[in-house]
Amino acid sequence: MELLNNLSLGFGVALTLGNIGYCFIGVLLGTLIGVLPGIGPLVTISMLLPITFGMPPVSALIMLAGIYYGAQYGGSTAAILVNLPGEVSSSVTCLDGYQMARRGKAGYALATAALASVIAGFIGTLAIATLAKPLSAWAIEFGAEDYFGLMVMGLVSATVLSNGDLAKSLGMVMFGLLLGLIGTDVNSGIERFTFNVPELADGIGFSILAVGLFAMPEVVSNLGQKETREVFTAKISGVMMSWAEFKAILPPSLRGTTVGGLFGMLPGVGPTVSAFAAYMVEKKVSKDPARFGLGAVEGVAAPEAANNAASQTTFIPTLTLGIPGSATMALIFGALVMYGVQPGPTVMVRDPQLFWGVVASMFVGNVMLVALNLPLVGVWVRLLTVPYRWLFPCIIMFCAFGNYTVNSSVVDVYVCAAIGVLGYVMAQLDCPPAPMVLGYVLGPQMEEYMRRALLLSGGDSMVFLRSPLSLFFLVVAALLLISMSIPAIRRKKHIVYEEKSEAEAKA
């Protein structure tokens, strides 16, 4: 009953004309930019962040969430039609989606992706609505030491499960943690690592780091490669699926939703791992696993559902614990802080309008996704043919001008350019940027919680092992690290990721 009351409060917020408008713009912009080759949700959000700063927080967050799942979905369209995933999480969709497109079933693949996403979106949103409250209530019990443990676990699991070398990912996390310390220390008021630049007194701006780390290196490396794309621009038919076709995708969508929804709630796991896991599950339950990689519709439905369900449920740790689960969530988290909303257990009590408004707007957004994507598929296909030489100057313009608008500060533009160079160098050295962003966001918080835990415990460092919750998180983190050093398990992880590249090679 309370749930209904809360949801109606949320819909009251989400269904105001203005917010429907923002949601629509978000989903539209997200899909539009997500479809464009070489620009994933991360880049999209980091580029569009400055636009949202002038808005009221609820509307801004509704629009950001719209951009997020719009871009996620647009990325799948690109994955199916061009075999070019917008984000790592939609790379699983490439495996069978692109094969379906090659076999003339592009319409069915696109419709499957849309419907599976919507089913997952609905269930995922319901999960947020029901679980967030008890989880928030539980989170009141978390002391500073428990938060510290949870953050350690989140950072470790994000590195262990990321598609990259463990040691380098860990290095990037620490690098990010250090970058996060730039600026004025909350406790003592001393400026750290600011090199007497007044603009750094408040730290490196979040969108500056994100744009520099994701958008710039991506443009540079894209320009360094040859532009080869094969687009299926032929008329796409079969978007309206038959009942039999729908029945074929329903069970895998539900399985994918379950896998994704559960994985998404764990801090540090996120959509990518969920999509891979759902694909694996589908392959295991299938009577004919040989079809996978050759255009099996389950291979599109399950990972798409998982990826979307996880995208929704990652909002749970972000909003209730204040711990972003993925790099994209870290972006949204950073934005929230800039709007003056501190995500955490109290966000539902302090900003019920914001919390439930966003939850409700996810329902609305999911409906809009279908409404936008299926009829407009022709438009998106046309967009795929936009040459990159038109796109990248616009991206660079957003990097420079977008960051300039945040504080009207040219120093921000220089910092962004410098981080872009750093980001490109690190990418060349196979050091993944996502753990760095997570570290950057969590760095100041981790330090704060560590200090406060020690202050309140009278300087006893055993406090982290004495609290059962903190102990549990730290043990899980340690086990994860140890397990990755065991060669057999490490090989298994590589197999999962390699399967993807093999399938790509086949295509």
Partner 1 sequence: MFGHSFRHKDTLAGIVFVLFGTLAFLIAQRYPAGTLLDMGPGYFPRALSALLVLLGLGIMARGLRTGGAALATWAFRPLLILTLSMVLFGLLVERIGLVPAMVILIFTSSAAGREFRLREVAVLTALMCLFSVAVFVWGLGMHFPLFAWGF
Partner 2 sequence: MKKLWEVCAILSVAALCGGAIAQDKYPDQPIRLIVPFPAGGATDLVSRVVATELGKATGWAIAPDNKPGSGGSVGLSLGGKAKADGYTIVMAQNANLVINPLLGVGNYDPIKDFEPVLLVASSPMVMIVAKNSQYESVEKIIAAAKAKPGSVRFGSPGIGTSGHLAGELLQQLSGAKFLHVPYKGISQALPDLMGGRIDLFVGSAPSVMAQIKEGTLHAVGVFDKKRATDLPDVPTFDELGYSGSEAITWWGVVVPAGTRKEIVDQLNKEINAVLKKQETQAQFKNAGADVLGSSAEEFAGLIQSDVPKWKLVIERADIKKR
Contact positions vs partner 2 (CB under 8 A): 53, 57, 139-144, 183-184, 186-191, 198, 201-202, 337-342, 344-347, 349-350, 407-408, 448, 452, 455-456
480 is a site residue for partner 1 (CB under 8 A) = no
Report in angstroms how near the CB of residue 471 gets to partner 1 at its nearest.
19
User: Residues 240, 397, 479, 482: which binds partner 1 (CB under 8 A)?
Assistant: 397
Q: In whole angstroms, what separates CA 207 from the centre of its chain?
A: 15
SS3 labels along 148-185: HHHHHHHHHHHHHHCCCCHHHHHHHHHHHHHHHHCEEC
Report in angstroms how near the CB of residue 128 gets to partner 1 at its nearest.
30
Phi, psi (rounded to 5 degrees) for 227: -85, 105
Q: Residue 405's binding partner, choosing from partner 2, partner 1, none, with beta-carbon cut-off 5 to 8 A by kind?
A: partner 1
Q: Which two tokens stand for residue 373?
A: 């994507």
User: Residues 167, 465, 486, 495: which binds partner 1 (CB under 8 A)?
Assistant: 167
Residues numbered 185-214 forming contacts with partner 1, rule: CB under 8 A: 185, 187-188, 190, 192-193
Report in angstroms how near the CB of residue 383 gets to partner 1 at its nearest.
15
Nearest residue to 364 (alpha-carbon basis) of 93, 18, 5: 18
Cβ-based nearer residue to partner 2, 246 or 401? 401
Q: How many residues bind partner 1 (CB under 8 A)?
A: 63
Helix (H) or strand (E) holding 342: none
CA distance 222 to 226: 8
Residues numbered 446-465 forming contacts with partner 1, rule: CB under 8 A: 446-447, 450-451, 454-455, 458-461
Give the N- to C-terminal CA distance of the chain in Å, as an integer: 51
Query: Rounded to the nearest 10 degrees, how much is the dihedral formed by the CA atoms of 16, 21, 27, 32?
Result: 180
Contacts (Cβ under 8 Å, ≥6 apart) of 252? 116, 282, 297, 298, 301, 302, 305
396 is a site residue for partner 1 (CB under 8 A) = yes
CA distance 450 to 444: 10
Asked whether the beta carbons of 66 and 22 are under 8 A apart, the reply is: yes
Report in angstroms how near the CB of residue 300 gets to partner 2 at its nearest.
33
Report in angstroms how near the CB of residue 420 gets to partner 1 at its nearest.
6
Q: Please report, as ranges, the residues that interact with partner 1 according to CB under 8 A.
A: 51, 54, 167-168, 170-171, 174-175, 177-178, 181, 185, 187-188, 190, 192-193, 216, 219-221, 223-224, 227, 388-390, 392-394, 396-397, 399-401, 404-405, 408, 410-411, 413-414, 416-417, 420-421, 424-426, 428-431, 446-447, 450-451, 454-455, 458-461
